[in-house]
Amino acid sequence: MVPIKSLFAKRGFPLSLDAFKACGASYSQFGEDMIVASLFDKESPCGYYLDLGCYHPLRWSNTYHFYRRGWSGLSVDASGAFQGLWKKHRPRDIHWVYAVTPTSLHYVSDYVESEEFPATNYCQVASGNQAEFLNQNKKTKMKSLSISELSERWPFPSKPSIVTTDLEGLDFEIWKSFPFAVFEPKVLILENHDINLSESLSSHMQDNGYELYGQSGPSLIYHLRKWN
């Protein structure tokens, strides 16, 4: 039988009081939450977050670290597979099952849900004539909500300090339509798998008052320049 202490050590758990005080628990896939945590003092008041493409309430979550610190927020995902787990593990959060679209003129044209790798569920949207055709013929039953509609329905008394998106290819389209003036989040976490979009993405974020703070894996972390 493997000693319990050895199992804890292999997982990096603190084995002394001093180590415990210095430790921060990360739940993100690439440690993004620890980078963001460095921007928020542990003694500062709890805030709110918006988690789009939130997936699982604990596994690979960019916001669970903050939930454990007393924060709460809105989580949105096109799949309802983990809806029960969100209610169980994160009762302070509000969880919605929607596909988030760039604008109200976009319509969900395809949604691929993977039972084996649900974190890679893929949602494709259409606009213009194709969207009108899909809407009239009800080709999909997927509920959708545009990012501007979501901002109008924001259910908390204060704006989200952290916004994180993991929308499997739709991230940049969402950020191009993001209501920065309404939400004005302090920190943004987004995925970018397309190197060809990097320059356009960086320019768009700078135009809206954000600068790159760090990167981990495919995740880019921006912070508001005027935030003190």
Terminal Cα distance for the chain, rounded: 52
Global confidence as pTM: 0.83
Q: pLDDT tens per residue, the chain (228 residues)? A: 666 666 666 666 777 777 666 667 899 999 999 999 999 987 788 999 999 999 999 999 999 999 999 999 999 998 888 999 999 999 999 999 998 988 877 766 555 555 554 444 445 555 554 444 445 445 555 788 999 999 999 999 999 999 999 987 788 889 999 999 999 999 999 988 888 888 999 999 999 999 999 999 999 999 999 875
The DSSP letter of residue 12 is T
Predicted local distance difference test score (pLDDT) of residue 57 = 96
The C-alpha atoms of residue 43 and residue 96 are separated, in whole angstroms, by 30
- Predicted confidence at residue 4, as pLDDT, reads 65
Q: Please tell me whether residue 35 adopts helix, strand or coil conformation.
A: helix
Burial class (CB in 10 A: 0-12, 13-18, 19+), 64: buried
